[in-house]
Structure formats: structure tokens, C-alpha cells
């Protein structure tokens, strides 16, 4: 069992395990930076894992957060995210990139929790809004 730095529910603990397992399937030969993620939709008992999948054409690389989201959407369609867990093999915290945050923004309430973890356990819980307070929105008043 992981030694978390914060108190988490059994479900968040399970999401850590799903993200860690997904991380073990990463394809990251270029960066050697394996990342795993887990998404839970509101009202859905399933946890959806994802890992980063790199490509020699770096722009074609897909981050773990987006592969988890794609897996979840493929299984359930568009839903709202209840929480996200991200794990990387770092001493400190590793955060989602801006591209992932923008993609996730279409699937969430801006205050949903994001759990940041490393191999030791979950380090902290943050709000999605902490990462991307002003996402791009196609519904601007003109």
C-alpha cells in the first residue's frame, strides 16, 4: 500500500493503483518519463486509466491524462469528470500540461479535484481551477 502524504478515500486510493498500473504500460522511449493517470466520471463506478504514448514525431505524443479521458469517453460518452489522479516517477509533484488541461476543461466543473502523485503515494489534492483558471471557451458573447 502506498504511503500517501494526504488523507484520501478508498476510491481515490484505488484510482492511484489504476494510474500506477497504467503508468507501467507507457510507451515513453524518447523522454523516459512514464506518466499514468486515472479519471472517474460523476455517477460512474468505473475508473479509467491512461498512460503517455510517445511518438518519434513529438507532436503526435499523447499524454496520460488525455489517454485516460479518451478511454473514459470511448466507454461512456461525454460525461463530467469527478476527479483525476496523475502519477509520475518524480521526487516532487508533476502537473498536467496546458494542452491536457484545455482538453479536460470541456469535461469538468472547474473545481473538481486533481490528485498529484509519485511512486511513494499521493502528494496533494488541488482544484482544476488552480491549474487553468481561464480555459478557452467557444461560447464567448460577440
Q: Tell me the three state secondary structure of residue 67.
A: helix
Looking at residue 116, the DSSP 8-state letter turns out to be E
CA distance 113 to 130: 10
Looking at residue 37, the DSSP 8-state letter turns out to be E
For strands 81-88 and 47-51, give the pairing.
Answer: unpaired
Query: Would you name the residues annotated as active-site residues?
Result: 65
**Residue 73: exposure state from Cβ atoms within 10 A (0-12, 13-18, ≥19):** middle
The length of the chain, given as a count of residues: 142
**C-alpha cell read off for 138:** 467557444
Determine contact, residues 132/105, Cβ cutoff 8 Å.
yes
Amino acid at each position: 500500500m502506498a504511503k500517501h502524504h494526504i488523507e484520501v478515500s478508498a476510491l481515490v486510493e484505488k484510482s492511484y493503483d489504476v494510474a500506477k498500473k497504467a503508468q507501467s504500460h507507457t510507451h515513453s522511449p524518447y523522454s523516459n518519463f512514464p506518466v499514468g493517470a486515472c479519471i472517474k466520471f460523476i455517477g460512474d463506478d468505473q475508473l479509467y486509466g491512461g498512460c503517455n504514448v510517445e511518438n518519434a514525431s513529438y507532436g503526435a505524443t499523447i499524454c496520460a491524462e488525455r489517454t485516460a479521458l479518451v478511454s473514459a469517453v470511448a466507454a461512456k460518452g461525454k460525461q463530467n469528470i469527478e476527479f483525476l489522479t496523475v502519477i509520475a516517477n518524480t521526487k516532487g509533484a508533476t502537473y498536467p500540461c496546458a494542452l491536457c488541461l484545455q482538453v479536460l476543461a470541456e469535461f469538468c466543473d472547474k473545481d473538481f479535484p486533481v490528485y498529484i502523485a509519485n511512486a511513494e503515494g499521493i502528494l496533494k489534492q488541488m482544484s482544476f481551477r488552480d491549474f487553468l483558471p481561464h480555459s478557452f471557451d467557444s461560447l464567448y458573447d460577440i
